[in-house]
Amino acid sequence: HRLCSTSPPFLSKTSASRSASTLVVAEHEGGSIKAQSLSAVVAATSLGDDNSVSLLLAGYGSSLLQAAERAATCHPSISQVLVADSEKFANPLAEPWAKLVQLVQQKGGYSHVIATSGSFGKNILPRAAALLDVSPVTDVVEVNGPTQFVRPIYAGNALCTVRYTGANPCMLTVRSTSFPVPPLAADSKSNGAPISHVDLSTLDEDSIGKSRYIKLSSEDTERPDLGSARIVVTGGRGLKSAENFKMLEKLAEKLGAAVGATRAAVDAGFVPNELQVGQTGKIVAPDLYMAFGVSGAIQHLAGMKDSKFIVAVNKDADAPIFQVADYGLVADLFEVIPELLEKFPEK
Ligand code: FAD
């Protein structure tokens, strides 16, 4: 379904301009810009023909500067890289970041501000929008010009076309899975956008806000990141225990895949919350999604139904997962997974 929301007649003129200038709020890790943030650059290119894209990177120290240098040459659409280097940005706390976006926006007067809708963007962009007194448009899956966007509603069961009629800037979070980054031809690589440092002298001392960074705990794994993996192997409540999830981990290792889980599996304590796929978890769209012991609840489908090939194994022939599966096997996963482990060669 596609719903149309037209703006009220008294708001028919929008202030977001046709020639866009966009600020992309980007994430970096280990001295490189994250692949998801490049999707926000791809989304920005659909905002207008003569759109100039500035990339904002914040952090502290040498890995930030390395990321800025790499970012400057990673996409021809990036016309400048803005660097905010301060101890305040050493950890990803939303408050100082939101203040930074406000500061940079007020100096640069951008028509659009974009971040991807991962936990980073979802945390920062709405706060920055509140500081700038505008309403963000979230979870955008299609950009049709500077003011018209498509976003899912009702847990992804309908798509809604919205027109932004508010003041500048128009602030968007975009789904990285909807804006894949095409491999760049060698001759279209950027020669290097200029890098400038943001003057942080006017940033309030109290911009740290009320939150305090305690620690980052993350699974130290060789497997690919769930959000950008080409293959995802997901387990549901049907796996029955944390111990049984180890079978899936082994399968993921053999396939070079990321492991995902349903909320029921997370709530039962089989796996940590960061593996949850779905409406309230991660949104994924890999080339191959394999679901074992997953019923296919609407909230789970919302996070994976755009995968290119879906394979489901469930012992209940009526499980709703089979309605979205390209290949379905009605079978006991405790027989199927060991068989797959035996048949797939060691990596
Ligand atoms: P179940 O529904 O219990 O299904 C288990 C399946 O395993 C069954 O189909 C069963 O036939 C099969 N099975 C059992 N044993 C075997 C076996 N031996 N071999 C083969 N198959 C077997 N869920 C998410 O996943 N992600 C979300 O982000 C999410 N967000 C939510 C947000 C809200 C507001 C709400 C209300 C719910 C949300 N949920 C989410 C929960 C969702 O509604 C379902 O409860 C959940 O997805 C079910 O997980 P499941 O498929 O693992 O478990």
Residue nearest to atom 12 of ligand 1 (CA): 293
In angstroms, what is the span from residue 261 Cα to ligand 1's centroid?
A: 9
pLDDT score for 109: 95
Looking only at the bridges linking them, the beta strands covering 137-140 and 52-59 are: unpaired
The predicted complex's ipTM stands at: 0.99
Instruction: pLDDT tens for the chain, 347 residues: list them.
Output: 334 343 333 333 344 444 579 999 999 988 999 988 999 999 999 998 777 999 999 999 999 999 999 999 888 889 999 999 999 898 888 999 999 999 999 999 999 999 999 889 999 999 999 999 999 999 999 999 999 999 999 878 899 999 999 999 999 999 998 998 877 655 555 678 999 999 998 887 665 667 888 887 776 677 888 988 999 999 999 999 999 999 999 999 999 999 999 999 999 999 999 999 999 999 999 999 999 999 999 999 999 999 999 999 999 999 999 999 999 999 999 999 999 999 988 76
Residue 140 Cβ inside 6 Å of ligand 1? The answer reads no
Contact 54, 23 (CB under 8 A): yes
**Model-level pTM?**
0.80
Q: Measuring from atom 31 of ligand 1, which residue has the nearest CA?
A: 299
Whether the upstream peptide bond of residue 169 has omega within 30° of 0, thus cis, is yes
Q: What's the first-to-final CA gap in the chain, in angstroms?
A: 43
Is the C-beta atom of 234 inside 6 A of ligand 1? no
**What's the pLDDT at 105?**
97
Single-letter residue type at 310: I
**Cβ 236 under 6 angstroms from ligand 1:** yes
The binding site for FAD comprises 237, 262-263, 276-280, 293-300, 314
What is the model's pLDDT at position 211? 81
Q: Give the model's pLDDT for residue 152.
A: 92
Q: Ligand 1: which residue has its CA nearest to atom 15? A: 238
Cα–Cα nearest to 38, from 177, 149, 171, 211 = 177
Q: Tokens for 271, please give them.
A: 């796996």
In SS3 terms, the chain reads as: CEEECCCCHHHCCCCCCCCCEEEEECCEECCEECHHHHHHHHHHCCCCCCCEEEEEEEECCHHHHHHHHHHHCCCCCEEEEEEEECHHHCCCCHHHHHHHHHHHHHHHCCCEEEEECCHHHHHHHHHHHHHCCCCCEEEECEECCCCEEEEEECCCCEEEEEECCCCCCEEEEECHHHCCCCCCCHHHCCCCCCEEECCCCCCCHHHHCCCCCCCCCCCCCCCCCCCCCCEEEEECHHHCCHHHHHHHHHHHHHHCCEEEECHHHHHCCCCCHHHEECCCCECCCCCEEEEECCCCCHHHHCCCCCCCEEEEEECCCCCCHHHHCCEEEECCHHHHHHHHHHHCCCC
Q: Does ligand 1 have an atom closer than 6 angstroms to the CB of 111?
A: no
- 280 within ligand 1 shell (Cβ under 6 A): yes
From residue 255, how far is each of 214, 248, 280 by CA, in Å? 35, 10, 26
What is the predicted pLDDT for the residue at 167?
95
318 C-alpha to center of ligand 1: Å? 14
Q: d(Cα 130, Cα 126) in Å, to the nearest integer?
A: 6
Residue 237 confidence (pLDDT): 98
| Ligand 1 neighbourhood includes 316 CB (under 6 angstroms) | yes
Look at ligand 1, atom 41, and give the residue with the nearest C-alpha.
263
